[in-house]
Structure 1
């Protein structure tokens, strides 16, 4: 979905399984506490996890992009606040996956890289914020420095002037002077960290959390009923419903005539309610589970009802009734969304399948 500047997870280059998320994965996840799970990641997986987390902050950003690996120029993940990328406002997330807390000696070279970005490429701007993200957090010394921006700047400038560490000693006089001037003019409160507990808690709001950590899915929000007016997205399945009504009730020939029919009208309203319940489930799935999970549920339900839908029935309305009954009673167990799926959702998914021409109620129509 794109809502204003919001970026859909489908637009991001995050690897995810080709198969749908299973109920077992979503409920149980790995048998480790989340803080222990993330400590098992390698550096690449850590960067992917940070990108997933940053996607949960997508209302702040036009785009979230991962640059990790060699040549990342000190930017693992960037959250761009405008469509100008590094030339506009942006936030930097620097992932460091070590088996110890971060120290100043680890931080200095990374901070130097972010100052070299605009020094060597003037179109680049310094980030609005720069956050270290590490599974074991900041060490005491670095944490105190980050909490004292003036002292942090002074200590960094000392590194620029006298450090014999490789990235600093390799600076030529021009770059050293430019970094010194830029750092002197910069408010070092831009540097900070994201603590692990906050990181994991905010990651819960992404579609990736259940697959990584288990714990089940969050409760679904209440879904709205169907709009009074029939929308274009309803025309296919409603037309198929009309064909089924027409076989039973000769006076029903259009959606409008079905709406006012004493029997078909009530039935049609229930089907619209079910359809919009299923659409709400689709939206929930888009925001809370891995891509392909909702489509997996549709496919599983299709497999459960297709034999019933293709069997011989007295008329289309009976075929519809039997198919919906089979959908409600089918033993579905492998898909994560089963945890939050109700009978009306299953009936609505049948109408989604009809919309996609995978199900029909009157064969010769």
Structure 2
């Protein structure tokens, strides 16, 4: 599925925004506005098969298209038209866009969309709002303007195309043409993973993380093996294993804390997946790796020292520019080190 564009850094200003989302949107250009619509559509209907942005020359009035099947525009779909104008939309703005739809369908470029929705930061003017609220009157207005070759709407049409489009429009339910209020669009966008990054708002509260189960899970085998290597190097004659480590007098509590940190970091990964743009957690993990790998690579007398110095280093890293730091703590950072060890990107005991 084609996804909205994600900033390369996936980092956000943690300070409360001084400009409301409505105010920021007023400063957008056409591309910004269409990208906002693209993000918003992801929350409109979760069952869309695919969402694409076509904004630009030759889009035939379809800035963003949401397909309901693999047939794309040949099957059922919804069309979203963004108009980032300095004043509310009037029929003079909407009429030509409606005409584009009928011309595209008449020309065989696509099938008639199920809905055609206008989104404009300053909304629709009173007359257009009333017409969109009364589909019968909207149709009558459109056909009236279309029939008069002196009116701007049909000025560029030859008689053959005008007749065909009039017949198509006459058989169409104009309830398909709608408008979306800005505040409603922002409220829906707030439920997407893109909202925090776009508007710099505070992250939602983070759920309580999962407590590590008694038995080891299949996703934690490697970092546990690495910890066992550290413990056996430190206590070479005591046969420490994953099934008896918790009962060990010297390292049992240490092992429990490391598992707790790992599961906490895993819960942060899941939270990030559902709350912020893709890649946000990965970038935090990469910065943590960059911040500790030189400590890991230094010669240390043993794995215990290497591990201890790494965990001491990670809690002091300057990571406040990362979005997720506002809802994470020091244990998350330690847990990410164990995630990296789980992927063999950090190794505690050297041959």
Query: Structure 1 residue 329: deviation in Å?
Result: 4.4
Is the CA contact (8 Å cut-off) linking 2:14 and 2:321 kept in structure 1?
Answer: no
Which residue is 1:142 aligned to? 128
Which residue is 2:336 aligned to? 349
Query: Structure 1 residue 174: deviation in Å?
Result: 3.9
User: Aligned pair 1:113/2:114, yes or no?
Assistant: no
Is the CA contact (8 Å cut-off) linking 2:4 and 2:39 kept in structure 1?
Answer: no
Q: 1:27 aligns with which of 7, 15, 24?
A: 15
Is the CA contact (8 Å cut-off) linking 2:233 and 2:302 kept in structure 1?
Answer: yes
Q: 1:38 aligns with which of 25, 29, 51?
A: 25
Is the CA contact (8 Å cut-off) linking 1:21 and 1:289 kept in structure 2?
Answer: no
Is the CA contact (8 Å cut-off) linking 2:307 and 2:348 kept in structure 1?
Answer: yes
Whole-angstrom CA distance in 2 between matches of 1:112 and 1:234? 59
5+ residue gaps, structure 2, are none
Whole-angstrom CA distance in 1 between matches of 2:182 and 2:207? 28
Whole-angstrom CA distance in 2 between matches of 1:299 and 1:37? 30
Q: 1:18 aligns with which of 8, 27, 32?
A: 8
Query: Structure 1 residue 45: deviation in Å?
Result: 1.8
Is the CA contact (8 Å cut-off) linking 1:242 and 1:252 kept in structure 2?
Answer: no
Within a 5 Å distance, the mapping from 1:47-126 to structure 2 comes to 47-57=34-44, 59-121=46-108, 124-126=110-112
Whole-angstrom CA distance in 2 between matches of 1:58 and 1:321? 48
What is the Cα-based RMSD across aligned positions, in Å? 2.7
Q: 1:178 aligns with which of 161, 164, 170?
A: 164
Which residue is 2:224 aligned to? 238
Whole-angstrom CA distance in 1 between matches of 2:150 and 2:260? 70
Is the CA contact (8 Å cut-off) linking 2:145 and 2:153 kept in structure 1?
Answer: no
Which of 36-45 and 127-136 deviates more?
36-45
Query: Structure 1 residue 37: deviation in Å?
Result: 1.5
Secondary structure at the residue paired with 1:64? strand
Is the CA contact (8 Å cut-off) linking 2:220 and 2:342 kept in structure 1?
Answer: yes
Which residue is 2:350 aligned to? 363
Q: Residue by residue, what CA displacement relative to the aligned partner does 1:168-192 show, whole Å, maximum 9, x if unpaired?
A: 2333344333322332222222111
Q: Residue by residue, what CA displacement relative to the aligned partner does 1:176-215 show, whole Å, maximum 9, x if unpaired?
A: 3332233222222211111111112222233333333223
Q: Residue by residue, what CA displacement relative to the aligned partner does 1:240-295 show, whole Å, maximum 9, x if unpaired?
A: 12212222344546544546756656544443332232222223323433444323
5+ residue gaps, structure 1, are 1-6
Is the CA contact (8 Å cut-off) linking 2:95 and 2:153 kept in structure 1?
Answer: no
Structure 1 length normalisation: TM-score?
A: 0.85
Is the CA contact (8 Å cut-off) linking 1:225 and 1:273 kept in structure 2?
Answer: yes
Go from structure 1 to structure 2 and tell me whether the alpha carbon gap of 1:265 and 1:109 turns closer, same or farther (over 3 Å shift).
Answer: same
Whole-angstrom CA distance in 2 between matches of 1:57 and 1:331? 38
Go from structure 1 to structure 2 and tell me whether the alpha carbon gap of 1:325 and 1:245 turns closer, same or farther (over 3 Å shift).
Answer: same
Which of 80-89 and 323-332 deviates more?
323-332
Q: Residue by residue, what CA displacement relative to the aligned partner does 1:320-350 show, whole Å, maximum 9, x if unpaired?
A: 2342243234443221211011222112100
Which residue is 2:147 aligned to? 161
Query: Structure 1 residue 308: deviation in Å?
Result: 4.1
Which residue is 1:302 aligned to? 289
Structure 2 length normalisation: TM-score?
A: 0.88
Within a 5 Å distance, the mapping from 1:241-252 to structure 2 comes to 241-249=227-235, 250-252=237-239
Whole-angstrom CA distance in 2 between matches of 1:329 and 1:340? 17
Whole-angstrom CA distance in 2 between matches of 1:175 and 1:230? 70
Q: 1:213 aligns with which of 196, 199, 206?
A: 199
